[in-house]
Structure 1
């Protein structure tokens, strides 16, 4: 019984670490993935590198084309999008 008592603080530390660090990080990662998956043509975005631009084309599952100035387009991996500033309305089908 005394051996179990020695593990209680270790178990409590792990539980606190899980609820204060691991779980919020997983939630944040899940929200970022949902945001990135919802990006479509016309959205205004900011990349992790600090570039502002408008999505001109979603090429495939993990790549977008971003127009950063008139006639200047760059290809990006979707996961490098840090924030979506404005969403476009969904097109009528």
Structure 2
């Protein structure tokens, strides 16, 4: 009985930790992976560094982004933070 009384709070704390922190983070990571794998030429994107541009070339692990001034920059797919509609 004493052992169960000691383990129950730990199990409860782990369950709360899982549902409040771990599970939502896994969902965000899955959504980000799906977004990065569904990138297409012409998508307007924002990088993790805050650079806005349009995808010009897509390769297996990299993308080439054309900025508004016409310059082209190469980034890893993982550097794409968001696809925008602007």
Distance 2:79 2:9 in 1: 40
Q: How many residues align?
A: 85
Structure 2 alignment gaps of length 5 or more: none
Superposition TM-score, scaled by structure 2 size: 0.93
Counterpart for residue 37 of structure 2: 37
Counterpart for residue 68 of structure 2: 69
Distance 1:35 1:48 in 2: 14
Superposition TM-score, scaled by structure 1 size: 0.87
| Structure 2 residue 79 is the aligned partner of structure 1 residue 80 | yes
Structure 1 alignment gaps of length 5 or more: 87-93
Distance 2:66 2:59 in 1: 13
